[in-house]
Amino acid sequence: MDARDTGGAVMADYVNPVGWLVAAAQGLLYVIAAPLFAAWVKRIKARLQNRRGAALMQPWLDLRKLMQKETIVAHTASPVFRAAPYIVFGGTLLAAMVVPLLVVKLPTTAIADVIVLVGFLALARFFLALAGMDVGTAFGGMGASREMLISAMAEPALLMVVFTVAMTAHSTNLSSVIELNLQTGLVLRPSFMFAILGLILVAIAETGRIPIDNPATHLELTMVHEAMILEYSGRHLALMEWAAQLKLMLYAVLLVNVFFPWGMAQSLSPMALLISFVALCVKLGILGGLLAIVETVFTKMRLFRVPLYLNLAFLFATLGLLSHVILETGP
């Protein structure tokens, strides 16, 4: 295929209405599936702790209840406090749409790459911390300072993982990385093994899961994410909770689709989309079960040990990059 044929194929991806329709459906699927994935993790944790657990639709019922409640805003709150839930939810949703969910190549994934993904997540985190400090409560400021501490050490590790994957695929576009893994098949790459370990540690820290944070607690001295949204109510609180569920779903899809992309659709045929959907459900189900086991076995660590945890994530990511340069780069 010559350059003209390649350019025509790329232009066809942009003007294909079916591709844009599937991209919009993929974003809608993110919004719908995020609360269900969070409920699946809670359900597995409850079973492991000999409890019955809530129904899988319980997060959706909670979101509907919050949407119907009155929104109360403190007198000291600025417009930033009111706008933050919409910005946090919108930024997280845009970041999620960057990550391919069912189809490898879509118009949206061809435009954005993993650097844009990190930027959208940083935008959402910035306004989340800003909203926590806006009202002026002690808990909000404490949670915002802890969130910035964690993010300041997690982002370098995440970028090192990004550089490792990008150097292997010679591109920062996630679609190119996934396509490379699909073409090469099951190949033992030391760089990817270290990158997976680093990304898992970063994902646990960024989503506020045990051992970094406990999303089920409201203890004042241990809160991180919950401390920043204590002053929210009604639909504002619903959007904040929804954004947190989207972020968990985003990192889960990033792990299973980038490093284990088997089953993803390379065309827009109905059968390929169905197979991709089933494969995604299986992979997310397994990952959710593993996350529930980790949160059941381990306990929350002290805040002062979090830097050591994130230093380990950065070490794994750096070893992945060095492994690629030393072992996988040809002479």
pLDDT of residue 8: 44
**How many domains does the chain fold into?**
1
Q: Please tell me the predicted confidence (pLDDT) of residue 1.
A: 39
pLDDT in tens, 224-234: 888 899 899 99
Q: How far out from the chain centre does Cα 4 lie? A: 37
pLDDT at 13: 52
User: What is the rounded distance in angstroms from the CA atom of residue 150 to the CA atom of residue 147?
Assistant: 5
**Which residue, chain included where needed, has tokens 């993790």?**
41
- 240-277 in b/e form (b: 16+ CB < 10 A) is bbbbbbbbbbbbbbbbbbbbbbebbbeebeeebbeebe
The residue segments making up the domain with residue 68 are 3-328
Q: What is the pLDDT of residue 9?
A: 44
d(CA 147, CA 71) in angstroms, rounded, equals 25
Quick one: pLDDT at residue 108? 73
pLDDT at 29: 93
Q: Please list the ranges in the chain whose pLDDT falls under 50.
A: 1-12, 331
